[in-house]
A = this chain, B = another copy of it.
Amino acid sequence: MEKIVIKISGSLLYPPDKKYYEKTREVIGKIINKGYRIGIVVGGGPLARSYINSLRELNIQESILDILGIESARLNALSLSSALQPYSIPKVPKDLTEAIEIFSNNLIPILGGLQPGHSTNAVSMVLAESLNANVVINMLNNIDGIYDKNPNDPRSKKLDKITYKEMEELIKNMNQIAGGYELLDHVAFELIKRSKIKVIFINGKDPENLLKVINGEKIGTELIPD
């Protein structure tokens, strides 16, 4: 039985869109029925950013801003875990042990953030390690994979595959400010390198894309070792 970790961009979950939640529940149900076991990590997205940006102007400590981001992601996770019943229960694990416990009861653990200094991308990697998952599917917000340039650049084009090294170049200039994690931050990337888990970036706007990946269709961008 294959195990999958799904990372969902916070932008896809807040403001909450009834149809998106409904569609996601339907797709998750199909994947479960195919015999897969799933863990989910969701981001804080615009909810996190609205708190963080306002409070940063008040000179609140960066690590406290991180905590606001974590709790925002957890609220999205609670919302999603409510919607995905009975595949999940409305409870957000606060650490990996709780996640493993829920998973061992054949339920989907749905996590937000864990601790300051860690993006939810990084969380998806440690969750994948903990559950012995074979792959992390990263559902991006309204973009269909990783681009060779700034995706707003008309000359940019989507990559089918990208190596660790190439990826590293892309994320080089990203900064570690709370709420500013994008694509893959340094921590997440270090974890990918240590675990060698397969990561596939897809457009999360349509949950059906999850099924496509699982059925072996070549969509999105696959991150591969050098």
Binding site for B on A (CB under 8 A): 14-18, 21-22, 25, 47, 50-51, 54-55, 57-58, 60-68, 71-72, 74-75, 78-79, 82-83, 85-86, 89-91, 95-97, 100-101, 104-105, 107, 114-118, 122, 125-127, 129-130, 132, 175-177, 185-187, 190-191, 193-195
Chain A contact residues, majority secondary structure: helix
Copies of this chain present in the complex amount to 6
Judge whether A60 and B85 touch: CB under 8 Å: yes
Q: Can you show 26 pairs from A to B with CB atoms below 8 A apart?
A: A15-B54, A16-B54, A18-B57, A18-B58, A21-B58, A25-B58, A61-B130, A62-B129, A63-B126, A64-B129, A65-B82, A68-B78, A68-B82, A71-B74, A72-B75, A90-B100, A91-B101, A104-B107, A115-B115, A116-B126, A116-B129, A116-B130, A117-B122, A117-B187, A176-B191, A185-B190
A186 to B174, CA, bound (A): 14
| Chain B residues with CB below 8 A from A101, complex form | 89, 91
Task: Give the residue of B61, B78, B95, B186 whose beta carbon is less than 8 angstroms from that of A190.
Answer: B186
**A79 and B51 contacting across the interface, CB-CB below 8 Å:** yes
Could you tell me the distance in whole angstroms from the C-beta of A70 to the nearest C-beta in chain B?
10
B residues in contact with A75, CB < 8 Å: 51, 68, 71-72, 75
Q: 14 extra interchain contacts, Cβ-Cβ under 8 A, other than A117-B190, A117-B191? A: A16-B51, A17-B54, A18-B57, A21-B54, A21-B55, A51-B79, A62-B129, A89-B97, A116-B129, A118-B187, A175-B194, A176-B191, A186-B190, A187-B187
Residue of B nearest to A62 (CB): B129
B129–A63 touching, CB < 8 Å: yes
Which single member of B16, B175, B194 contacts A176 (CB below 8 Å)?
Answer: B194
